[in-house]
Amino acid sequence: MRRSKPSASESPTPGNAVFLVGFMGAGKSSVGRALGQRLNWVFEDLDDRIEAREGRTVGEIFRDSGESEFRRAEQAALERVLRELGGGVARIVALGGGAFVQKENAARLKAYGVPTIFLDAPLEELWQRCCAQADASGAERPLLRSLEQFRKLYQTRRRSYSKASLKIQTGDRAVETIAAEIAETLGLKKIELRTEQGEVE
Ligand code: S3P
């Protein structure tokens, strides 16, 4: 698929968009949410956008239409997010674990010049977190099968994740600490919100 270069109006203002990438269980959504709260930036999970548009869950898309259809929807959703960046809203976007591995998606993120942060953790910890989330909330991950398959998939993807602009370890670290590190390393600016009384929140 041929894609156009971002136009001046689509290009993000430098420093007002961050994309979180990495394997399942890396903490992309929880760190993204904490970072959004810290900076008063909008946080978005790309999988939520896909589900809202498709009217079905990621699990249902995989089950009913297959992974290739999910990847097509994922690529289209990413393209829409990128095109919205010029709107001036500062945002943090958590990508699903396979999104950045697709060459076309990584190339689009590069073309827009947005920072991509690879969140990583030891494989056993990633596995444990995914299993705990499945137990606690029934979170369905179609590619969460056996530890052996999980390990193989992680190993094939790791090189792609390493192409991100920055890598941060999340193993055994608090979400708030990781969010603070990202904000500081990238020099992200907090948006000051004012109450009706004019006080800064
Ligand atoms: C996937 C990861 C999931 C979701 C889908 C596919 C993957 O997102 O996008 O199940 O290919 O690794 P999380 O990384 O948020 O679990």
Tens place of pLDDT per residue across the chain (201 aa) = 557 778 766 767 667 999 999 999 999 999 999 999 999 999 999 999 999 999 999 999 999 999 999 999 999 999 999 999 988 889 999 999 999 999 999 999 999 999 999 999 999 999 999 999 999 988 789 999 999 999 999 999 999 999 999 999 999 999 999 999 999 999 999 998 877 877 776
Does 7 reside within a domain? no
Determine the distance separating the centroid of ligand 1 and the alpha carbon of 10, expressed in angstroms: 27
- Print the domain residue range for 50: 17-186
Does 193 reside within a domain? no
Contacts of 87 (CB under 8 A, 6+ apart): none
Left if phi > 0, otherwise alpha if psi is -120 to 50, otherwise beta: which for 95? beta
pLDDT at residue 188, as a whole number: 94
Residues with CB under 6 A from ligand 1: 24, 28, 47, 58, 96-98, 141-143
Does 2 reside within a domain? no
- Counting from 1 in the atom list of ligand 1, the atom nearest the Cα of 29 is 15
Does 199 reside within a domain? no
What's the CA gap between 171 and 166, in Å, rounded? 16
CATH of the domain at 162: 3.40.50.300
What's the CA gap between 180 and 39, in Å, rounded? 10
What's the CA gap between 87 and 113, in Å, rounded? 16
Domain count, the chain: 1
- Counting from 1 in the atom list of ligand 1, the atom nearest the Cα of 74 is 9
